[in-house]
Structure 1
Amino acid sequence: MYNVPANFINEQQIWDILNTHKTADRVQVREVLAKSAEMKGLEMDEVAVLTGISDPELLGELFHTANQVKETIYGKRLVLFAPLYISNLCSNECLYCAFRATNKEIVRNALTQKQITREVEILINKGHKRILLVAGEAYPQQGFQYVLDSVRTIYSVKSDHGEIRRVNVNVAPLTTEEFKMLKAEGIGTYQIFQETYHRETYQKVHLGGKKRDYNWRVWSLHRAMEAGIDDVGIGVLFGLFDYRFEILAMMQHIRELENQFGVGPHTISVPRLEPATGSDLATHPPFPVSDIDFRKIVAILRLAVPYTGIIMSTRETAQMRRETFALGVSQISAGSRTNPGGYEHEENQDDPSGQFSLGDHRPLDEVIRDVAKMGYIPSFCTACYRLGRTGQDFMDLAKPGDIKLHCAPNALSSFKEYLQNYASPETAEVGNRLIKETIAEMDGLAKQRAQKLVKRVEAGRDDVYC
């Protein structure tokens, strides 16, 4: 089944819809925005209408609506995580990536389990609770067992005030049986990007290796979900092809998963092409995405799939990240390194062995202080994954708004835990003031839960949640 063409990505349908909506009609745009405010999602033709917006007034209305939807569903929460690159070995030839097999300008490295333990210790001692494990698409002699061992190692590391409570994974597409093995290790989300859904472009930028097989990659989330992994993450690398096409193709992929499994992706990532060592294509994107179009992409996705998390990485500058919080972003990485061993040797921020250039080099504590000053609650919560509120169960709570009764209190307690155990005095002052102000504005059961959980943390308890 999974070597046949993925007919659910229908390129002709995408072009037909885009050609029908080349120019944004003001009446149509406002009708779509009015519908999107109901938080029931959008169809492909409605998404296409929004991609055609260029008028500053309509852009303002788009951004305002996205902000309303984001705050209604997520409130002021921002989930934080750190990527952990365990290896930059790779057998693929992807023209935009520093890890590509023939690139001689980087030093290859696959961390030992002892080195992974050291990286995790460093991340824990900074305050991180979530890790995204990332590896190039080739492994040391152990093969795929290397990934399984690495997940196990990450979960095994303990510190005075904590441990990593959730490991998400971004590795090469697997067989269904391998996905079952990955699930058995207790991972959270399995994440994979198609990079580009445009088949001709896909072939042009993937010159060798198994990744050249478009169909094997695009079917990977079907295999993951068949294996029982009900939290999956998708994304494209914006800049490889027309972003309007990519958004609609992503919508086709989302609807396919919803039709087949009853639930779509848990997260969408929105990386833009950034310079990478040894890649001329990464420095000169074929379809560069302007800052205004990038903000538009985030806003459109928030309205199109309102209950799906949107992830913003440290590829982007601090200022761009700030601007997208209000448009739909609900998860961010912080204090990131994209080279294996990068946390232990973080003094070398310009190590050319990273997968791509970072736009935001700030340490976790500084990011948290900045986020809190903006009025957002940095959240390290992992409760839903440990209590089984994933996949369809999560959506059943999210769509009627009931998930807020858990997420808001848990965000505050996990933030308080960070402030008490890891924060600088300046960050603690900003954060504690925000927690007090936030609880004062809450009411009902959510307020009662938040007060109870925060008091438990103040009394010396870690890892409290509801």
Structure 2
Amino acid sequence: MAKYDPRSRSAEDFINDEEIRETLDYAAAHARDVPLIESLLEKARPRPLGNGCHCAGLTHREASVLLACEVPELNERIFQLAREIKLAYYGNRIVLFAPLYLSNYCVNGCTYCPYHAKNRHIARKKLTQDEVRREVIALQDMGHKRLAIEAGEDPRMNPIEYILECIQTIYSIKHKNGAIRRVNVNIAATTVEEYRMLKDAGIGTYILFQETYDKKSYLELHPTGPKHDYDYHTEAMDRAMDGGIDDVGLGVLFGLEKYRYEFAGLLCHAEHLEAVHGVGPHTISVPRLKRADDIDPDQFDNGIDDDTFAKIIACIRIAVPYTGMIISTRENEAVRGRALELGISQISGGSRTSVGGYGEEVRPHDSEQFDVSDQRSLDEVVRWLMQLDHIPSFCTACYREGRTGDRFMSLCKSGQILNCCHPNALMTLAEYLVDYASPATAGVGWPLIERELGRIPNERARSLAAEHVADIRASSRRDFRF
């Protein structure tokens, strides 16, 4: 039987079922072990390092003990530590993005997704380049600068050439003061050669959700299609990084399998990337199974409540303090607001999960991948974030300044990334307030920018950021960045 080996390139070794089950048994046995849990909290707390800070993180086994903790006082300390780590690495900035669905044609048989090949209810659609252009202009008119493109797996309808053409179209559109500055890609597992083509096209992060790390469940949930191949899917991030993609994003669909198993598997995957490539995941997403066209989440037995969901987010933040964490409009306003405090650093806003949905005045439902719980406009989300004392950020500077992969991680792990991110966030927020915000949102935003400019510790950076904000307000000059 295979043994756990994070340095192995074989999925059977780095997502090792025996290791995960032993981890869960160990965590359950120590769920009330106060000295052990306190020692893990002490290990994980932020420590000063030069002008920044350092967090050691936790192993999958250590973090599983925190997730299993049944001591109320220690659970509150877990949440508090997650808040401290979030502030230490990401401050009060929240990056905003939108998904852009290109095509819902799919040959797979995933039992939890309405795109599955046998679904005859859903309206199948694939955007033409003119329709992509219309969608992107609509997104730019909202104020978005960062997109995550999505497409079903269909080699005939959605070949890599189509994806590459869409990326080229998206980057080419400069509408008024708008521009999409970073395109992240969420498409099916593919070859090293095709990942290299995506890299050459200038993508940001390559995102691929594992869905479930439990191989038996995975095979049952993906009965047909190329996605049925568990090993090929699970080893995709290695091929992506072999193809030159610096930043990759992990995620599981919570609700498909027991959440403790998924949590441990997710962290094993992060440990594997660090061990083999020297760089952990750039992002981790935490979607929960939601209702969609012919999908009823109540048919699945492993749903998790909001409190458990919050604890998962907190424990991921503690275990992998450097990674960006993403929550989408699958979740409602209240859940998202709580999650922001515990570790989430990126959210979507004004999202439509249907193909062609942004160009339609009325939200179409017959081609959606899932029902959107938070249906507020981007302007409403931006104002809400500022009212909660967060800085909405449209920044893409690290990607365009070459701060990706191990270069980004070295800055992030030391806490030095804050010296770039805070002023960049404020400058991109100023762009949004001038170009897109409602009067109500602008009225909240400008005082926040003035306050936050004063909190930039480096005098030269503070002065330069204030100068750039003034230029943005007074002229059409845009895209200043540190």
Counterpart position of 2:15:
9
TM-aligned CA distance change 1:34 to 1:453, over 3 Å: farther
Structure 2 counterpart SS, 1:61: helix
1:69 pairs with 85, 91, 95, which one? 85
Letter in 1 for 2:113: C
Structure 2 counterpart SS, 1:300: helix
Counterpart position of 1:219:
235
TM-aligned CA distance change 1:430 to 1:134, over 3 Å: same
Counterpart position of 1:30:
38
Letter in 1 for 2:117: A
1:407 pairs with 387, 403, 421, which one? 421
1:326 pairs with 309, 316, 341, which one? 341
Counterpart position of 1:95:
111
1:18 pairs with 6, 21, 24, which one? 24
Counterpart position of 2:217:
201
Aligned-partner Cα distance in 1 for 2:336–2:361: 22
Aligned-partner Cα distance in 1 for 2:9–2:104: 27
RMSD (Å), alpha carbons? 1.5
Gaps of 5+ in 2: 1-7, 47-54
Aligned-partner Cα distance in 1 for 2:295–2:10: 31
8 Å contact kept, 2:9–2:238:
no
Aligned-partner Cα distance in 1 for 2:77–2:368: 38
For the pair 1:266 / 2:282, whether they are aligned, the reply is yes
- TM-score scaled by length of structure 2: 0.93
Deviates more, 1:4-13 or 1:90-99: 4-13
Aligned-partner Cα distance in 2 for 1:402–1:419: 27
- TM-score scaled by length of structure 1: 0.97
Counterpart position of 1:256:
272
TM-aligned CA distance change 1:32 to 1:4, over 3 Å: closer
Deviates more, 1:85-94 or 1:131-140: 131-140
Letter in 2 for 1:195: E
Counterpart position of 2:253:
237
For the pair 1:164 / 2:180, whether they are aligned, the reply is yes
2:353 pairs with 338, 341, 361, which one? 338
Aligned-partner Cα distance in 2 for 1:452–1:405: 17
TM-aligned CA distance change 1:307 to 1:175, over 3 Å: same
Structure 1 counterpart SS, 2:454: helix
2:319 pairs with 300, 304, 309, which one? 304
8 Å contact kept, 1:131–1:164:
yes
8 Å contact kept, 1:6–1:218:
no
Alpha-carbon distance, 1:434 to partner: 0.8
8 Å contact kept, 2:121–2:293:
yes
Counterpart position of 2:73:
57
Alpha-carbon distance, 1:260 to partner: 1.1
Deviates more, 1:337-346 or 1:186-195: 337-346
1:442 pairs with 456, 460, 467, which one? 456
For the pair 1:455 / 2:455, whether they are aligned, the reply is no
Gaps of 5+ in 1: none
1:113 pairs with 107, 129, 139, which one? 129
Letter in 2 for 1:462: R
Identity across matched positions, percent: 46
Aligned-partner Cα distance in 2 for 1:417–1:66: 31
Alpha-carbon distance, 1:155 to partner: 0.6
Aligned-partner Cα distance in 2 for 1:401–1:449: 21
Alpha-carbon distance, 1:33 to partner: 1.4
8 Å contact kept, 1:85–1:338:
yes
Counterpart position of 1:381:
395
Aligned-partner Cα distance in 2 for 1:411–1:271: 25
Give CA deviations for 1:158-209 in whole Å, capped at 9, x if unaligned: 1111210000000011100011111111000000011000001101111110
Structure 1 counterpart SS, 2:356: coil
For the pair 1:289 / 2:289, whether they are aligned, the reply is no
Alpha-carbon distance, 1:398 to partner: 1.4
Alpha-carbon distance, 1:44 to partner: 2.1
For the pair 1:86 / 2:94, whether they are aligned, the reply is no
Letter in 2 for 1:286: D
Aligned-partner Cα distance in 2 for 1:4–1:53: 31
Alpha-carbon distance, 1:35 to partner: 1.4
8 Å contact kept, 1:24–1:50:
no
**Runs (4+) off by over 3 Å:** 2-6, 139-142
